[in-house]
Structures are given as structure tokens and as C-alpha cells.
Structure 1
């Protein structure tokens, strides 16, 4: 089937990244299968994560169909693009339709991209994983491909102004070996194993990241446990409780 939207969008993204001189380093892309279905699972620290996750599949000549919140598909600019690229809208109040759509895509040999944390982690650490990715892989009989991104939060993340004019920003991507999802195993156990693998990849990406904060004002993108000033998970939970109770 012709990709009348996806490939031009990829071309535009690559052109923009080249103009910005983004230093994108990917290791492990060979772990993404060249054919057949798979669930690509990544951490989530930026609004641009789906773009960089998708780029990691290009060396294998694969396109990824990402599951994304339904509101993105209603936007006057992003909506037509998301639909044209055949991404999968998720209505969190009625997730059954999105699940069935993703399952059909996997069974037809597509790669489906999932962010199991469901929302951007403002602490830039891994949140808990929902089990949907594991259940999809089990039911479709396909592997889970773990991935970690680092540096994307410096371009555009939750609670910070978008800064797509910044140049020379490194983005580090690590793709791990497939995690099998046997149908006879508990999805929660598979999810825990998957999260552990993504955590290992995230730590590897952080160690490999070629720059450190320039000064005290530039530590916002570094997690607190690594000496940065990003809010801790506990601080974020407290802030969310305060908003809910206000």
C-alpha cells in the first residue's frame, strides 16, 4: 500500500533535523525485525518521542504505527497527518476500539509503537508501565522491542516551552533485543521484565549522552538522582494531588 503521507513527513523531519544539526545516535536498530509484526515500546519524555522512535526503525525499512491520544487526531494540523500515517487513535474512556485496531495491525505484519507510561514523565525517570503492550504482543503472537530515548526532552517536553530552534542537541537512542511474550505467561510478569529492560537501555543512553549541563540553569533536563533539578516522582505526585484537590 502506498504511503502518500508517512514518507514525505519522514523526509521533512530529517530535513529539519539536519538543519538543526541534531546529533542523533542510534544503536541496536538491527533488533527491529525487517518483516512481521512487533510492538515497539519506549520511554516517554518528550512530545517528539514518536518521531525519534519511528526514525530508529528506518534502517530496517519499517514504518511504525503509533498509538496516540485521540485529541491529537482532532487537531487541525496534526490530525490529517496522524490519520494519513495510519497511526492509531486512543480514547482513554473507550480503549477497546484502539486495542482491536492495534491488534489487527500487528496481525497484518505491522509494527505498533506504544508508550506504556501513557503520559510524559516530567521527572525523566520511568513511570510504571501499563500492561497493554504485553497483552497485545501475547494475543498477536509477536515480540516486544524495548527502546530508550534520551535528549528529546531538551527540545520539547511537558511543562517547558517548545524550543525547536535549538541546534546541535544530541539525541541518543538505544534499541534492545526482543522480549518474548508467551501466551501462557502472566502479562504483569512480562510487563515487569519489559520495564526492567527499558530501564537498562535508558541508563545506557544516559551514560552515552555526549554532553552535560552547561551551567546551573541548564540542569532542568537531568533527573534529580543524577544531580539535576528535574522534579522527583514524589514531587510530581504531590503536585498532581494538589491540582486534583484544588
Structure 2
């Protein structure tokens, strides 16, 4: 059976979802094309949000080849699994290697998953446009693949940065798939990235608006956005925390 490792991991994920009693609501999966190259662009708020973004593709009989940081591939267990699922390692110092691998995957008709925010957003809303990368747009422009935006919310309550995790049963996780975005005549990567960013921002805001488990006391809820009166970091603080984490990681690699 092709992609045996991937399919076994999918089964394991479903077992985990059932064990946690997660209330998963996926809407709009039909918008993901069933054939041909596709770039999936998703927001990034958790270490495990790829599991839920991947649900969209499996509902359409497809698998996503996610672009993920190289350090995850370097770990013995996760690295073996990621390579077995044909995900794409991204070395920040040599990003062109990952771009070529993603390009080849799209030419082969695959679905490639990209997080335009690059790292987990600690504010739990989509990062400002200045912090968003253009990789999805470049690949779409080079290959003609549509960009399908996928927004999710609630996953960060299960496992995210800062040592935040919870095995509480019944957590609501919402996933929303937007209409495919194709480059307009004469559109460059900057403009296309802005369009994708704006769509993702709006989709995440819709999910937060409709979230069925809003905190009774928002100001005490670490996972509720500061823009909604929650205790999550505001955008400027989140950017500062991101930079601190990046510098620490770089120092660790040099050491």
C-alpha cells in the first residue's frame, strides 16, 4: 500500500482524537480539489495543527506534504515518521532546497502544506502581514497551483508553545476551508501573499466569533486572544517572544 506510514499515522491521530473526545468541526473540505497540484496555506498556532489541517485532505482522498522545520526531522522518532510521510524539511539557512522539493512535489500533482507565518503565532490570531512569508505565493505563481486557505482554531488549547498543553476531554476544534485563490493577471508574490493573508485573517476571526467554548472570564484565559480581552499575548509582545525564541534556538545550534 502506498504511503503506508502516512496512513498508519492518520489512524493513530484518529485514535488520539477519540481518546480526547475532541469536538472537531471541519467545514468546506469540498473546496479542496481532488486532483492536481494544490498549495494549502494555513495559520499556525500549535505543534499539532498539521493533524487537523490534514483532515481536510483525507476527507478528499488526498495527503498533504507539509513543509516543516529541519530540526523536527533531526529527532530520531519524529524524523523517521516525517520522512516516511514524505514531508519537506525546511532549513532556514538554505530555504531554496525546500522550495525546490516543494516545487517538484507540486509538479507531480501533490498537495503541499505551508504555514505562511513560519512559526507558531503566540497571539493565537494570524500574525501581521510583515511577519508572513511569500513561499506559498511563489510556488503558486511558478506552478499554476491554486492556494487553498485553511483556518483552524482551538488546537492551541491542546498543545502549543510555552509549555501549554491539556488533555482535557471535549475541547472544540474548528477547521474552515476557503475558496481556492489563483493569481490574477500581472499579480506578483507580494500582492498574492497579501491577499492570502487577508483571507486567513478573516477566516480565523470568523472561527473565533463562532467558537462554542468561549471563556466565562476572558481576561484569565491564556488561550483567548488579547484582541478579545483575553490573556494571550498582544501582537507586539508575541513578536518579541518569537524573536527571543529564535535567538535562543540559533544559539543552541551554534553551541
Q: TM-score of the superposition, structure 1-length normalised?
A: 0.94
Deviations 1:19-53 (A, max 9, x none): 11100001110111100001000000000111110
Residue 4 of structure 1: how far off its partner (Å): 1.4
Q: Secondary structure at the match of 2:126?
A: coil
The within-5 A match list for 1:54-203 is 54-127=54-127, 128-163=131-166, 165-182=167-184, 184-203=186-205
1:200 is displaced (CA, Å) by: 1.3
Whole-angstrom CA distance in 1 between matches of 2:9 and 2:222 = 30
The number of aligned residues is 244
Deviation at residue 242 of structure 1 after TM alignment? 7.1
Q: CA deviation at 1:209?
A: 1.2
Deviations 1:188-217 (A, max 9, x none): 000000111111111111122111114468
Q: How far apart, CA to CA, are the structure 1 residues paired with 2:244 and 2:21?
A: 40
* Contact 1:141–1:183 (CA under 8 A) maintained in structure 2: no
Name the CA shift for 1:27/1:241 in 2 (closer, same or farther; >3 Å): closer
Q: Is the Cα–Cα contact under 8 Å of residues 26 and 173 in structure 1 kept in the other structure?
A: yes
Cα distance change on mapping 1:150 and 1:241 into 2, 3 Å: closer
Structure 1 unmatched ranges of 5 or more = none
Q: How has the CA–CA distance of structure 1 residues 177 and 79 changed in structure 2, closer, same or farther, with 3 Å as cutoff?
A: same
CA distance in 2, matches of 1:235, 1:207: 23
Matches within 5 A, 1:199-214: 199-214=201-216
Whole-angstrom distance in 1 between the partners of 2:146 and 2:205:
22
TM-score norm. by structure 2 comes to 0.91
2:175 match: secondary structure = strand
Q: Tell me the equivalent position of 1:12.
A: 12
Deviation string 1:210-235 (CA, Å, 9 cap, x unpaired) is 11114468511011111101011112
* Contact kept in structure 1, 2:219 and 2:230, CA below 8 Å: no
Could you list the per-position Cα deviations for residues 148-176 of structure 1 after superposition, in whole angstroms to 9, with x for gaps in the alignment?
Answer: 1100010011113332x221000000100
Distance 1:239 1:59 in 2: 36
Question: What is the Cα-based RMSD across aligned positions, in Å?
Answer: 1.9
> Contact conserved, 2:157 with 2:164, CA < 8 A, in 1?
no
Change (3 A) 1:206 1:88: same
Query: More helix per residue: 1 or 2?
Result: 2
Whole-angstrom distance in 2 between the partners of 1:64 and 1:242: 31
Task: Give the secondary-structure state (helix, strand or coil) at the position aligned to 1:52.
Answer: helix
